[in-house]
């Protein structure tokens, strides 16, 4: 069974640009969540989608958005990039939502903003 796939693996952008990251969950998983990891702040929750609906959102500005498609694949978008958006963006999937669910993470997209 294939794991969580994130594309691209690496990305370099300049300030002011926008970026779209993609996540394909494990087959059969309906919940997808996104996390940002930086050396200073560690791992921080961005948002969670289940059945194409955003179920939960972290404390990030509106420049960060996402969506989920009917096949459970998800994208996140960051507009008007800032230097501080340089980070590893991780996607995780689970069968459903809830505190008893295991999350399976992808290897992430490393975004560098110059």
Partner 1 sequence: DAKTTQPNSMESNEEEPVHLPCNHSTISGTDYIHWYRQLPSQGPEYVIHGLTSNVNNRMASLAIAEDRKSSTLILHRATLRDAAVYYCILRDGPGANSKLTFGKGITLSVRP
Residues near partner 1 (CB under 8 A) are 4, 31, 33, 35, 42-45, 48, 50, 55-56, 58, 90, 92, 94, 96-108
Asked if residues 44 and 56 have their Cβ atoms less than 8 Å apart, the reply is no
Return the HEC string of 42-68: EEEEEEEEECCEEEEECCCCCCEEEEE
- Between 7 and 14, CB nearer to partner 1: 7
Nearest to 66 by CA among 84, 46, 89, 81: 46
CB of 102 to partner 1, least distance (A): 5
Q: 49 has which bridge partners?
A: 32, 54
- Between 79 and 97, CB nearer to partner 1: 97
CB of 11 to partner 1, least distance (A): 16
- Between 17 and 52, CB nearer to partner 1: 52
The number of beta carbons lying within 10 Å of the beta carbon of residue 57 is 13
CB of 106 to partner 1, least distance (A): 5
CB of 104 to partner 1, least distance (A): 7
């Amino acid at each position: 069974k294939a794991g969580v796939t994130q594309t691209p693996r690496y990305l370099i952008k300049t300030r002011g640009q926008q970026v779209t990251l993609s996540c394909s969950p494990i087959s059969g998983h309906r919940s997808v969540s996104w996390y940002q990891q930086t050396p200073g702040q560690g791992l921080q929750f961005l948002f969670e989608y289940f059945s194409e609906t955003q179920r939960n959102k972290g404390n990030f500005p509106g420049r960060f958005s996402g969506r989920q498609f009917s096949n459970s694949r998800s994208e996140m978008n960051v507009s008007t990039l800032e230097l501080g958006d340089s980070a590893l963006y991780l996607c995780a999937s689970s069968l459903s939502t809830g505190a008893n669910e295991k999350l399976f993470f992808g290897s992430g997209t490393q975004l560098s903003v110059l």
